[in-house]
Structures are given as structure tokens and as C-alpha cells.
Amino acid sequence: MTSLKIPMPLPVGATIGILGDGQLGRMLSQSAARLGFKVAIYGPDPASPAAEVSSLSFVGDYDDQAALARFAAVCDVISFEFENIPVSCLAYLKSLGAHIFPNPEALGVTQDRIAEKQFARSLGIETVEFAEINTASDLDKAIITIGLPALLKTRREGYDGKGQAWVKTPEDAALAFSALGDKPAILEAKADFVREISVIAARGQDGDIRVYPVGENHHRDGILSTTVAPAKVTQDQQAKAVSIGRQILDALDYVGVLAVELFVMNEGGLWLNEIAPRVHNTGHWTQDGCLCDQFEQHIRAICGWPLGDTYAHTKIEMTNLLGEAVLEAQILAGEPKARLYIYGKGAPKPGRKMGHVNRVMG
């Protein structure tokens, strides 16, 4: 494998492997190409948004060792754009000698909602009260300690609000648990937040950390609808968000970009909702708001390059194009101050992320 032969920083022309083939892989690949790297995509979809714009693509499941070995053989470094890659997949790639950033342990913590909250609390970062749920009777007991209403979420694999059910009365409990497929879950107390923000932060191989200004996020039907950034937060809140990002990056010995979703509470405190060990939808505004966007930043970090400037030169409103909203692409393209990103997906199903638009504000 070439990966052991080329030292960091990787030279222009090296090959970056990305596990996951969606829009995040597509935008990582486009940023990598701008810096002169080649990208190999690995994912289950033969006609994926990421493969369409990449030098190489490998189609396979995340437990297909023969396909993973073929992929690893061409990669100088490997990363991922999807947090539900099994840790065993990364362990296998590592056993082949692959350089993987961020490290598999960081993925393990952040893909499990309980481990993630325990980790946050161990760093002194606040979260809602929560309980581990494995059976319907665990849930009956937990609603007494957590109180109602509370939110039941699958422990793993949730995204875009999928795998979640509100429990409003004790009678809802059994139905909620079976609606999530009787899977290991977490019961979370309801956060009475005043707004939702997220912080995108990066750490390089030399431990250098760069943090973007926070963005304010608005969801509709559990799916991110818009991010406005930089958000109107107090200096104290921005400083607190930066410190949370730094603590998490250092504690995980993380290399690459991650996102931390935070609830701003009534009294001004910031509580952690979740960590995404990857570039994130709430960081898309950086493409037009910052000199070095989150995608380029991730590529720089995993290749051992110096990190880029996170200064925000322009205020941006990012709006997701969900489902048939993408059919308005040509109209949006005619808007001054709007930049359009279309992901090259097939059918515009309701709620499916088909693209986004960054609008320059003011």
C-alpha cells in the first residue's frame, strides 16, 4: 500500500480516500481537487453524488473486506463523511496499514448518543438529563426520573430527526419504544432552549485548532432548514462555544473538522446536543462566508497541511433545498447574492437534501 510510503504533509497529487458517498463526500472531493489531490470514494451507491465528481470510486458495503482492501490500496490517507460507518470497518482498514483521520475511537464515541453525552459530561460540558433504555420497562422507570415530556431517540444511526419519538404521557411509552423498533435507545429530558447554534471546529495533525464563528440553526419537521452565520450571540457565548469545540477536539485527539450542536438555554448557558465527527450541514455557510471553508479545512487537516483562516468576511444565510425545492434551481440561480450547490441526486423525495443555497445577507 502506498499509504506507508508517503510522509505527511501529503504532496499535491496524493490520493485521499473518503468513506461515504453523499453530498458531504461530493463537496470534500471538490475542495480536494482544487488543492490538487485525487479522491477515491467508497460507498454502497454506484451512482452517488460523491463518485460523480471524484477520480476513483469503489462500490461496496462497509463490511466487504475485499472491496475495502482494494480501496485502501490506492489511498494515501482515509477519512469519512458519514458517522454511521461501523468502527469495525475502520479497524480493518487500520489493520491494513491505512492512515485514518479522524481516529476510529473518536467515531466510536460520537456515533453512540449515550457515550457522547457521558463524554461531554466528563469534560464538564452540560447536557440534558438522560437515561439508557434497552427495554420497555427501562423506559417506564426512566420517565419517572427524567420527567415528561421527554424525547426517545435510537442510540445509534439517527439523522435528520429520524429514529425519534416524543413521550408526552406514560401511556405513550410502549408505543414510542416499539415505533423505534425496540432498539437500544436514550431518553432525553426536553431542553427548553431559546435557540440552537452550532460550532464548526478543526484540529490539525500538529494540534493546531481553528474554530469558526457560530451559526444559528432553524429546523422544520426535525430537518435543518436554515443556518444564519455568524449568529447574533454574546461574546461570552462565542467564547464558550469555542472553548467547548477546543475541549472536545483535544480530548478526542481529533484530526479534521467536527461540528458541535448546542442549545442556548434561557440563562445563557450552552448545552451540548450532539457531536458530528465530520463536516456538517450547519457549516455549509462557510463556503461563501469564510476564506477557508469547512471542506477545504478538513482536507488540509487530514493531509497534514496548515489549517486555513476561519475569519468570516461575509454574513450568510444557508437554506437547504429539500425535495422538490431543487426544481427551482434556475430561478434561484437568477437571484443576485445567491450561490447554488446542487448535489446531483436522483429523485427529489420529500425531505431529501437535494442541494443548498448560500445567500449573502445585508
Ligand X SMILES: Nc1ncnc2c1ncn2[C@@H]1O[C@H](COP(=O)(O)OP(=O)(O)OP(=O)(O)O)[C@@H](O)[C@H]1O
Q: Report the interface residues with ligand X, using CB under 6 A.
A: 128, 151, 158-162, 188, 190-191, 196, 219, 222, 224, 261, 273-274
In terms of CB distance, is 48 or 320 closer to ligand X? Answer: 320
Separate counts of helices (H) and strands (E) for the chain: 11, 17
Which of ligand X, Mg ion, none does residue 195 bind to, with CB < 5 to 8 Å depending on kind? none
Q: How much is the CA Rg of the chain, to the nearest whole Å?
A: 20
Cα 163-195-258 angle, rounded to 5 deg: 60
Cα separation, 277 vs 103, whole angstroms: 10
In terms of CB distance, is 217 or 237 closer to Mg ion? Answer: 217
Which of Mg ion, ligand X, none does residue 159 bind to, with CB < 5 to 8 Å depending on kind? ligand X
The answer to whether 226 touches 317, Cβ cutoff 8 Å, is: yes
In terms of CB distance, is 99 or 280 closer to ligand X? Answer: 280
308-327 as b/e: b if 16+ CB within 10 A: bebebeebbbbbbbbeebbe
Count CB atoms within 10 A of the CB of residue 290: 25
- How far apart are CB 349 and ligand X at their closest, in Å? 17
- How far apart are CB 337 and ligand X at their closest, in Å? 26
Which of ligand X, Mg ion, none does residue 349 bind to, with CB < 5 to 8 Å depending on kind? none
Cα separation, 214 vs 201, whole angstroms: 10
- How far apart are CB 84 and Mg ion at their closest, in Å? 13
- How far apart are CB 121 and ligand X at their closest, in Å? 15
- How far apart are CB 261 and ligand X at their closest, in Å? 6
Q: Cell match 472491496: residue?
A: 67
Cell of 52: 460523480
Q: Which of residues 252-271 bind Mg ion (CB under 5 A)?
A: 261
Count CB atoms within 10 A of the CB of residue 230: 18
- How far apart are CB 162 and Mg ion at their closest, in Å? 11
Alpha-helical regions (H) of 85-228:
87-95, 104-110, 113-122, 136-146, 172-179
- How far apart are CB 273 and Mg ion at their closest, in Å? 6
Q: Cell match 476513483: residue?
A: 56
Q: Are strands 338-342 and 353-360 parallel, antiparallel or unpaired?
A: antiparallel
Which of ligand X, Mg ion, none does residue 151 bind to, with CB < 5 to 8 Å depending on kind? ligand X
Bridge partner residues of 271 (DSSP): 126, 263
Q: Are strands 150-154 and 185-189 parallel, antiparallel or unpaired?
A: antiparallel
In terms of CB distance, is 274 or 317 closer to ligand X? Answer: 274
Which of Mg ion, ligand X, none does residue 70 bind to, with CB < 5 to 8 Å depending on kind? none
Give the H or E element holding residue 59: strand 56-59
- How far apart are CB 75 and ligand X at their closest, in Å? 27
In terms of CB distance, is 261 or 296 closer to Mg ion? Answer: 261
In terms of CB distance, is 18 or 151 closer to ligand X? Answer: 151
Which of ligand X, Mg ion, none does residue 293 bind to, with CB < 5 to 8 Å depending on kind? none
**Total residues in contact with Mg ion, by rule CB under 5 A:** 1
Q: Which of residues 324-353 bind Mg ion (CB under 5 A)?
A: none
Cα separation, 351 vs 116, whole angstroms: 27
In terms of CB distance, is 187 or 255 closer to ligand X? Answer: 187
In terms of CB distance, is 202 or 259 closer to Mg ion? Answer: 259
- The contact set with Mg ion (CB under 5 A) reads 261
